[in-house]
């Protein structure tokens, strides 16, 4: 894997934490946080993807810390995804807020991340062409996912300038977007596990902490195991992306990460609410800042089923013996 100075990533993480510490919010997000975005931009944390000695891991560090804190902004869409498309199309990086979307044959793009706040939207059409569009070229229907993040529908109403870079760009964008969601699920899932442990130690039942009950211990252990598996798989996929993997090689790594992260998200959300009981279902409780986004991200940039089927598709040629254990295991997990 490509080497990187971990102290630099530590510096990035510390800077993000300091900004978040100065910008704490209660409850779930209610819209685009322009003040936090400006604070990140002022600290030059929104274009780390183009810094050679930092690259994808630095941006994912920012994305991860924001997700863990419940601060939901299109940092990865702006830096990694839009930046990657600009590079392919030979376009200079955009200075304003940018996001990305997949244009359908009917000239609509669905669930575009934070398009309502974006100054530019980079669209990829079914033919593999890229266009930089602005609000004057499309109509926008606002929408949100479960976590309150902008997921808007666009319909082109004016001509745009297309750059033909080839059909595989859609698959590449899908894989990179899915890896972003895997990173977000991993760090947010880890935060939910921490909340489970803290609550189990603090909450008493029948005169003792519920952490001493075997059933609670099992719920926490299962969630922690899923979280660690997802973290390991996602870290490996990040390494493959940083090393320049493309096509099926990148899809393979992302499918493993996305499958593990999505599975972990379900287990963690379910177990966390079981451990917390009724208090965890209240909108004011901080657990929602973890579990609601977890469930929302499972269906973005490809569903859980899509990535598990994609993984089986990539593995199938390598399974030449009658022993079909690995595909059977993957099918059992998806069920």
Least confident segment among 163-172, 219-228, 229-238, 265-274: 163-172
User: 173 with 253, same domain?
Assistant: yes
In CATH, what number is assigned to the domain containing residue 97? Answer: 2.40.110
What pLDDT is recorded for position 107? 94
What pLDDT is recorded for position 258? 98
What pLDDT is recorded for position 322? 47
Average pLDDT value for residue range 147-153: 94
Structure tokens at 61: 């560090």
Average pLDDT value for residue range 51-62: 78
Domain with 105, as residue range(s), is 76-166
For residue 1, what pLDDT band results from cuts at 50, 70 and 90? Answer: very low
User: 209 with 105, same domain?
Assistant: no
Least confident segment among 178-187, 237-246, 251-260: 237-246
User: 175 with 323, same domain?
Assistant: yes
User: 203 with 300, same domain?
Assistant: yes
For residue 277, what pLDDT band results from cuts at 50, 70 and 90? Answer: confident
Average pLDDT value for residue range 188-199: 95
What pLDDT is recorded for position 246? 92
What pLDDT is recorded for position 132? 96
Better pLDDT: 23 or 6: 23
User: 7 with 57, same domain?
Assistant: yes
User: 227 with 185, same domain?
Assistant: yes
What pLDDT is recorded for position 289? 83
In CATH, what number is assigned to the domain containing residue 279? Answer: 1.20.140.10
Among 47, 73, 99, the domain-final residue is: 73
CA–CA distance, 324 with 35 (Å, rounded to integer): 53
Among 166, 186, 219, the domain-final residue is: 166
User: 162 with 172, same domain?
Assistant: no
What's the pLDDT tens digit per position in 165-187?
977 999 999 999 999 999 999 99
Query: pLDDT exceeding 70 applies to what percent of the chain?
Result: 88
Q: How many residues does the chain have?
A: 335
User: 232 with 200, same domain?
Assistant: yes
For residue 2, what pLDDT band results from cuts at 50, 70 and 90? Answer: very low
pTM of the model: 0.89
CA–CA distance, 109 with 153 (Å, rounded to integer): 6
pLDDT at 149 over 90: yes
Average pLDDT value for residue range 209-227: 94
What's the pLDDT tens digit per position in 77-98?
999 999 999 999 998 888 889 9
Sign of CA dihedral 53, 57, 60, 65: negative
User: 7 with 142, same domain?
Assistant: no
What's the pLDDT tens digit per position in 284-321?
778 888 899 999 999 999 999 999 999 999 988 766 54
Among 166, 199, 220, the domain-final residue is: 166
User: 5 with 108, same domain?
Assistant: no
What pLDDT is recorded for position 173? 97
CB atoms near residue 332 (< 10 Å): 8
Q: Maximum CA pair distance of the chain?
A: 69
What pLDDT is recorded for position 215? 94
Give the count of domains, the chain: 3
User: 326 with 190, same domain?
Assistant: yes
User: 258 with 174, same domain?
Assistant: yes
Average pLDDT value for residue range 222-235: 97
Nearest residue to 331 via CA among 302, 311, 303, 301? 311
Catalogue the E-assigned strands of the chain. 98-102, 108-113, 120-124, 129-133, 138-141, 151-156, 163-164, 204-205, 208-209
What pLDDT is recorded for position 55? 72
pLDDT at 276 over 90: no
Task: Share the mean pLDDT of the chain.
Answer: 88
pLDDT at 280 over 80: no
């Amino acid at each position: 894997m490509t080497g990187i100075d971990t102290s630099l990533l530590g510096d990035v993480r510390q800077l993000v934490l300091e900004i978040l510490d100065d910008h704490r919010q209660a409850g779930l997000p209610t819209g685009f946080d322009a003040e936090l975005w400006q604070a990140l931009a002022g600290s030059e944390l929104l274009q780390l993807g183009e810094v050679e000695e930092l690259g994808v891991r630095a941006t994912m560090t920012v994305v991860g810390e924001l997700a863990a804190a419940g601060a939901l902004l299109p940092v990865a869409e702006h830096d990694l995804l839009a930046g990657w498309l600009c590079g392919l199309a030979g376009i200079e990086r955009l200075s304003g807020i940018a996001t990305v979307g997949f244009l359908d044959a009917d000239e609509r793009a669905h669930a575009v991340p934070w398009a309502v706040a974006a100054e530019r939207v980079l669209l990829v059409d079914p033919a593999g062409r890229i266009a930089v569009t602005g609000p004057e070229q499309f109509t926008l229907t606002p929408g949100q996912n479960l976590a309150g993040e902008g997921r808007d529908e666009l319909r082109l109403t004016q001509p745009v300038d297309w750059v033909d870079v080839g059909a595989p760009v859609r698959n590449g964008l899908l894989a990179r977007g899915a890896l972003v969601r895997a990173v977000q699920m991993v760090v947010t899932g880890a935060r939910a596990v921490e909340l489970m442990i803290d609550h189990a130690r603090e909450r008493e039942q029948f005169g003792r902490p519920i952490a001493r009950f075997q059933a609670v211990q099992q719920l926490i252990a299962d969630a922690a195991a899923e979280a660690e598996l997802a973290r390991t798989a996602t870290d490996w996929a990040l390494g493959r992306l940083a090393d320049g993997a493309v096509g099926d090689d990148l899809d393979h790594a992302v499918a493993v990460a996305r499958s593990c992260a999505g599975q972990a998200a379900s287990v963690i959300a379910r177990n966390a609410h079981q451990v917390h009981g009724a208090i965890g279902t209240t909108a004011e409780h901080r657990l929602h800042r973890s579990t609601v986004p977890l469930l929302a991200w499972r269906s973005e940039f490809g569903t859980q089923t899509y990535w598990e089927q994609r993984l089986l598709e990539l593995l199938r040629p390598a399974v030449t013996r009658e022993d079909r254990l690995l595909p059977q295991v993957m099918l059992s997990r998806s069920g």
